[in-house]
Structure 1
């Protein structure tokens, strides 16, 4: 039973999931699990309302085993990545903490993949029993495409839900985490963390910062390791004894303080490293821009577009500056030679 009252109804209401905040999706799924029965009861009442055409379809969808299975699976997955998502979207990013959360997420997903199926499946079965959801016979045949039953391979429902859903989704997430946070990028982020001014430059490490400089050969090709090491040692002594650099909370404040105190002219190498470190969050911003762009692409006329078409539309929308440099004639010629056409396309 869902309690109501001042301040209670707002906490248990279904909020709209944000386009760029995965934490909002996690909260929506948690509340959907908790309010599943009241939501079904409301849809039962609304399905007889002629002015509401979606209630009946939503009701049929929610009463399927697939819906409950994916609800619990996505709740568990987003629960593992929730802290990581929150850490990546904070303005004052703690890089060392983020990298630790990445490693923890990888280990938890691998453990879930190897040993988590039985516990997860029992949880889904128990929920279906409490919610009176019909469960398919797990040993019976699963047909993905009803038009090709004769030629379809014999796959049981158990195999389908375990390997095509549970294992496959976890494998995709692990692959994405390994590609996004490769050993090279992990090493770079750990080196960047050594520039942090927090706690009186407690994370400062000369060798790691020199290693970071070597990852940018175009910017530090003419700088010797000895020169860079000497400047870093002088720099750390200066900033630790300067009251202007005490209680700084991030690289952005460090950069502003270097400019305000004119030390960016004295420690040119350090200032360049700080600027390079500040450009890293741009990748996070570009991802959020892509998600925001989906609002423009997924309109009423394109709600059923395929993933490939959606991907092509998003690429051209997000990377406007790049595609503006492409000549229209090149696009037409490319389209024209793809296959024979009845007429030639010409520019007006």
Structure 2
């Protein structure tokens, strides 16, 4: 970039998306608290093969009970074995899978950690187990788990698509724009539906739901470091809207309009399908991004040259069938 001041640096799209998620997770206190507790949970459950087997057996037992009650259906691909994979810091898709499995296996995980807390042979881990049982049954943890499920769920499909080898530039940019729009949807009119979903989950698993008009009391943390506010202020404005606004801002910063337009113009030179994407206007716009290489006279001349260029390329047998 020192040698060529007009150069533009563009990260891999999938890596940029990961940086968005990392920035949000590290920049929001509730996200930091949640993933720290998830890490503690995984340390307790995943410390030995024996505890992995306990989780698997407990899940199998719960599935059999639900099948007997008719609450689950059988069939190919249904009721697959699930576990708690440890998320990797460089693979944020793995965080989504971990949070998804925590929500899906909630009663099973709770049964296992309670069983461990009642086992005298696990006495050395009782302080950790006692802590995580309380956290696991708190509204704060459930709320954050569902919020991360929504946020990571919106971006998971995008991440998978951006990593496909056959993905073209225009499709990738269209998906990024779609992700930006979808992240804004819950902000506009998604709070009531989201809170209802969290409340139903809490009621199903006997977890106390705080009254939104009451004062917020953080679970397991001193009120000294939390400003006085209602539950509605904290959960809706500070956490729900705060995380959505933060991730929207990071998406705008990482996928800025200049880079998007640059790539859009560059896609006009794609030789696939006999240069079907060729657009002389876009190529001229692309040239305007490099004022040190194209003078105003060059730009006028370029527009005249492009007709000859595309005619030549479409007749060249070397570019056929791409």
* Shorter-chain TM band: 0.5 to 0.7
SS in 2 for 1:204: coil
Residue in structure 2 matched with residue 188 of structure 1 by the alignment:
262
Does the 8 Å CA contact 1:87/1:94 hold for their aligned counterparts? no
Does the 8 Å CA contact 1:2/1:35 hold for their aligned counterparts? no
Q: Which runs of 5+ in 1 are unaligned?
A: 249-348
Does the 8 Å CA contact 2:217/2:223 hold for their aligned counterparts? no
Q: Distance in 1 between matches of 2:211 and 2:286?
A: 56
For residues 193-215 of structure 1, give each alpha carbon's deviation from its aligned partner in whole angstroms, at most 9, with x where no partner exists.
22223333221111101211211
SS in 2 for 1:172: helix
Normalising by structure 2, we get a TM-score of 0.67
Q: Distance in 2 between matches of 1:55 and 1:103?
A: 43
The one of 14, 22, 30 equivalent to 2:100 is 30
Q: Assess, with a 3 A threshold, how the Cα gap between structure 1 residues 205 and 45 changes in structure 2: closer, same or farther.
A: same
Residue in structure 2 matched with residue 339 of structure 1 by the alignment:
none
The one of 282, 285, 291 equivalent to 1:211 is 285
The one of 189, 192, 198 equivalent to 1:118 is 192
1:164 counterpart = 2:234: no
1:224 counterpart = 2:298: yes
The one of 108, 120, 123 equivalent to 1:50 is 123
The structural deviation recorded for 1:79 is: 1.7
Q: Which runs of 5+ in 2 are unaligned?
A: 1-61, 65-73
The structural deviation recorded for 1:60 is: 2.2
For residues 53-73 of structure 1, give each alpha carbon's deviation from its aligned partner in whole angstroms, at most 9, with x where no partner exists.
643333222111111101111
1:178 counterpart = 2:252: yes
The structural deviation recorded for 1:222 is: 8.5
The structural deviation recorded for 1:169 is: 0.6
Normalising by structure 1, we get a TM-score of 0.62
Q: Assess, with a 3 A threshold, how the Cα gap between structure 1 residues 204 and 55 changes in structure 2: closer, same or farther.
A: farther
| More displaced 10-residue stretch of structure 1: 123-132 or 182-191 | 182-191
Residue in structure 2 matched with residue 71 of structure 1 by the alignment:
145
Q: CA RMSD in A?
A: 3.0
Q: Assess, with a 3 A threshold, how the Cα gap between structure 1 residues 44 and 243 changes in structure 2: closer, same or farther.
A: farther
What is the correspondence of 1:141-152 to structure 2 with a 5 Å cutoff? 141-143=215-217, 146=222, 148=224
The one of 170, 176, 194 equivalent to 1:102 is 176
Whose relative contact order is higher, 1 or 2, with alpha carbons under 8 Å and at least 6 apart? 2
Q: Distance in 2 between matches of 1:14 and 1:138?
A: 32
Residue in structure 2 matched with residue 266 of structure 1 by the alignment:
none
SS in 2 for 1:139: coil
Residue in structure 2 matched with residue 84 of structure 1 by the alignment:
158
| More displaced 10-residue stretch of structure 1: 79-88 or 68-77 | 79-88
The structural deviation recorded for 1:113 is: 0.5
Q: Distance in 1 between matches of 2:223 and 2:96?
A: 36
Residue in structure 2 matched with residue 238 of structure 1 by the alignment:
312
The structural deviation recorded for 1:74 is: 1.0
Does the 8 Å CA contact 1:14/1:28 hold for their aligned counterparts? yes
Does the 8 Å CA contact 1:80/1:105 hold for their aligned counterparts? yes
The structural deviation recorded for 1:9 is: 8.1
Does the 8 Å CA contact 2:202/2:209 hold for their aligned counterparts? yes
Q: Assess, with a 3 A threshold, how the Cα gap between structure 1 residues 2 and 16 changes in structure 2: closer, same or farther.
A: farther
